[in-house]
Amino acid sequence: MTVHTGESLPFSCSHCVRSFSKSELLEQHLRRHTGEKPFSCSQCPKSFYVSRDLKRHILHHSEVKNFSCSQCSKSFISRDTLREHMKLHTEEKPFGCPRCDKSFTRLDRMQRHERVHTGEKTYICSICPKAFFTPTGLQKHLMGHAGEKPYTCEQCAKSFIELNALKKHMRVHTGEKPFTCDQCAKSFANLATLKVHLMKVHTGEKPFSCDQCEMSFYQSSVLKNHMRIHADPQESHSGGEEKSHACDECSKIFTSLSHLQIHSRVHTGERPYSCSHCPKAFTQLSNLKKHIKGHTGEKPFKCSQCSKCFASFYNLQVHVRVHTGEKPFSCNQCSKSFSRLDSLQLHMRSHTGEKPYSCSQCAKTFSSSGDMHKHVRVHTTEKPKMVSLKN
């Protein structure tokens, strides 16, 4: 039995404040900082810091699950796992954060959450300056450096670092939407989308506030992008320089030079990515890849309501709005709404008078690229196709 005398333990971690009574315990702990996981499962790509975690994991590959939930059909390999699961039904969260009103089902999750308030990131990457709140976060990050993505989708060949990420991705193909809004019965493929829906449509809550102006946002990622507006263009940050790159033609501002260069092709008409199957060319490589699927016939994204298939997930999302009638993009100048963001952007030019597409042959400008391309034919020998309308 260990007696606590109040004296400091002899084996201290050089990365954080923890100390240990034995050298082997310190050795195990250090793996949390380095990301080393020497105990690998022979049945899947997972690996673990300590052997006991591997032993517990191997039970998941066994079909023996003797502990069943009395409220749903799920079964578990251990009584402890069942107890943790039962908290989902009872909504019991006994571990409250002392700094905010959040509560957790497990003590370790509450302790991990506390680091959000303290800013403590003790798990540091050995390859780059990034640091993380948890050893799992560091391990995932290290896999990114290694290019390791062990979980591959059988339907579209996309690969993922985590099994959970693959499971979420599979809903794109299956159409499964397990997260349902309790206020309007709408369903969603992931919990984060449901939370944003609740705030946007029902509660109006915007929990992420800018500390430099009065604006608030539904998501932390949107707030992060917004903060770049306030960033000093000359100030250098640890993660790189935050700079405002303005377009000389239309004064639009971009956070990176590469985004500005892509945008400038709108004005120059440059399309450096050419299709090898037809004369079409594109401003971005991603658009060329989507286009090529039209030639190959590859359409991995299937609508669950009418069985139509699409070459990209975005096209499937837009199509689904035909069934739901959803028009999430609203004009703030009039009452019109649109099912696509690009349709709203084009419409907004009717209010602003913006005409970002310039003819390279004359001084004329246009609100859409389609109108500009039609006009260019005036300067060339190409004539527009004529459609004959007969009674």
What string of pLDDT tens digits covers the 391 residues of the chain? 344 444 567 888 887 767 888 888 888 888 877 778 888 888 787 788 888 888 877 777 766 677 788 877 777 777 777 877 777 777 778 788 887 778 887 787 788 777 777 777 777 887 887 888 777 788 778 877 777 777 888 877 788 888 888 888 888 788 888 888 888 878 888 888 888 888 877 777 777 777 777 777 777 777 777 776 666 544 434 444 444 677 777 667 776 777 788 888 887 878 888 888 888 888 888 788 878 888 888 887 788 888 888 877 778 878 888 888 888 888 888 888 888 888 888 888 888 888 878 887 887 888 787 888 888 888 876 555 544 444 4
Instruction: Give 306's contacts (C-beta < 8 A, 6+ positions apart).
Output: 323
191 and 290: one domain? no
Residues 117, 119, 124, 127, Cα dihedral to 10°: 120
216 and 255: one domain? no
319 and 205: one domain? no
DSSP 300-342: -EE-TTT--EESSHHHHHHHHHHHH----EE-SSSS-EESSHH
257 and 353: one domain? yes
218 and 300: one domain? no
187 and 281: one domain? no
Give the tokens for residue 125.
């990457």
Residue 320, domain member (yes or no)? yes
Amino acid at 151: Y
Question: Do residues 377 and 383 lie in contact, with contact meaning Cβ atoms separated by under 8 Å?
Answer: yes
Residue 76, domain member (yes or no)? no
Residues 148, 299, 259, 321, Cα dihedral to 10°: -120
Cβ neighbour number for residue 76 with a 10 Å cutoff: 19
Burial status of residue 269 (CB atoms within 10 A of its CB: 0-12, 13-18, 19 or more): middle
Q: What pairing do the DSSP bridges indicate for beta strands 208-209 and 75-76?
A: unpaired
Residue 27, domain member (yes or no)? no
As a whole number of angstroms, the distance between CA 363 and CA 247 comes to 18
338 and 248: one domain? yes
Question: Do residues 9 and 20 lie in contact, with contact meaning Cβ atoms separated by under 8 Å?
Answer: yes
As a whole number of angstroms, the distance between CA 151 and CA 159 comes to 5
CA atoms in the 13 A half-sphere facing the CB of 46: 19
247 and 212: one domain? no
163 and 259: one domain? no
As a whole number of angstroms, the distance between CA 102 and CA 85 comes to 19
CA distances from 192 to 72, 169, 337, 367 (A): 23, 14, 24, 35
253 and 350: one domain? yes
255 and 362: one domain? yes
Burial status of residue 285 (CB atoms within 10 A of its CB: 0-12, 13-18, 19 or more): exposed
Residue 51, domain member (yes or no)? no
Burial status of residue 178 (CB atoms within 10 A of its CB: 0-12, 13-18, 19 or more): exposed
Which domain, by its residues, includes 349? 243-376
206 and 303: one domain? no
Overall domain count for the chain: 2
Domain containing residue 315: CATH number: 3.30.160.60
